[in-house]
Structure 1
């Protein structure tokens, strides 16, 4: 099975799925499986975990339906399982008011764990946009991410892209919340 054979999107809808996807280690395991299937041993090596820990996290992801076994093979009498993502992308529900945004927390954790001397492009811009400009910019960012996802080559090094386009809480509300 290749990434082309996968459904386009898996929508996280249950609490078990959300718990499975919300864990940083499992997020990193799903990143390993984004482009090609891997065994528990391969996942453990790429994520930097013991095989037992990798196996535990993969089982939780599998029970939640986020990853699945796509092929098996016998190696010295042992069945080796290859796991892959259940879909090309996983969509999490929007966080409720005051709840953490799991995707952005994972993105920040991955950024902080990236080599300090590695190339990176990080920028924050404060804009004032009409509703139409806001919608257009969001659509353009999503289209750009989709375009480059289509160009992704599993033989190349991993690259992460995270963006958040949002309207912050009004200043009065933010000040009241911090008191």
Structure 2
């Protein structure tokens, strides 16, 4: 299936899907497959896994409907399967109160695993915005991410972009209720 035939988004709605994307190894496999299909052998080599482990994780992602076989070919009597993402974008549900944000945890884990001497731009800004400004900034950040996603070229090195725009917990709540 050519990338042009992929649905734009797939919303994670089941517990099986959420468990599948909550694992950092499977998250990295999905990141690898977002630009081009790959075989179990290619996935194992690029993610740094044994082929058996790679196969296990891909099977879980496939069972959850997050990746799928997009083509096959015969190599020395064995059918080689090429896997790709089931959609251009995977949309995770917002975490419930007190639950971890899977996407942000994975982004932090990826950042921590990135080469320390590599180029990176990591910033945090504390802002005071009206409701309208808050909404406008969210729309602009999403539009910017979408613009650069359209420019993505599978022949170029991977770049990860993670952003979170949110209202932090009130100071009393963040400090465990004490002042």
Q: Sort the TM-score into its range (normalised by shorter chain).
A: over 0.9
Q: Is the 8 A contact 1:9 1:87 kept in 2?
A: yes
1:176 deviates by 2.6
Runs of 4+ residues deviating >2 angstroms: 176-179
User: Aligned residue for 2:86?
Assistant: 86
Residue number in structure 2 paired with 1:156: 156
- Partner residue of 1:20? 20
Gaps of 5+ in 2: none
Using structure 2 for the length normalisation, give the TM-score: 0.98
Structure 1 position 175, deviation (Å): 1.8
* Deviation readout 1:113-140 (Å, 9 max, x if unpaired): 0001100000000000000000000000
Query: How much does 1:172 deviate?
Result: 1.6
- 1:75-106 Cα offsets, whole Å, 9 max, x none, are 00000000000000001110001100000000
Secondary structure of the structure 2 residue equivalent to 1:176: coil
TM-aligned CA distance change 1:37 to 1:170, over 3 Å: same
Normalising by the residue count of structure 1, what TM-score does the alignment of the two structures yield? Answer: 0.98
**2:172–2:178 contact (8 Å) kept in structure 1:** no
Q: Distance in 2 between matches of 1:82 and 1:68?
A: 8
CA-based RMSD: 1.1
Task: Find the aligned partners of 2:158 and 2:178 in 1 and give their Cα distance.
Answer: 38
- 8 Å CA contact 1:39–1:83 kept in 2: the answer is yes
Q: Show structure 1 runs of 5+ residues with no match.
A: none
Partners of 2:37 and 2:70 within 8 A in 1: yes
3-state secondary structure, aligned to 1:144: helix
The whole-number CA distance in structure 1 between the counterparts of 2:85 and 2:177 is: 39
Q: Matches of 1:2 and 1:118 in 2, distance apart?
A: 33
Is the 8 Å Cα contact of residues 2 and 36 (structure 1) preserved in structure 2?
Answer: no
> SS state of the match for residue 29, structure 2?
helix
Displacement of 1:42 in angstroms is 0.4
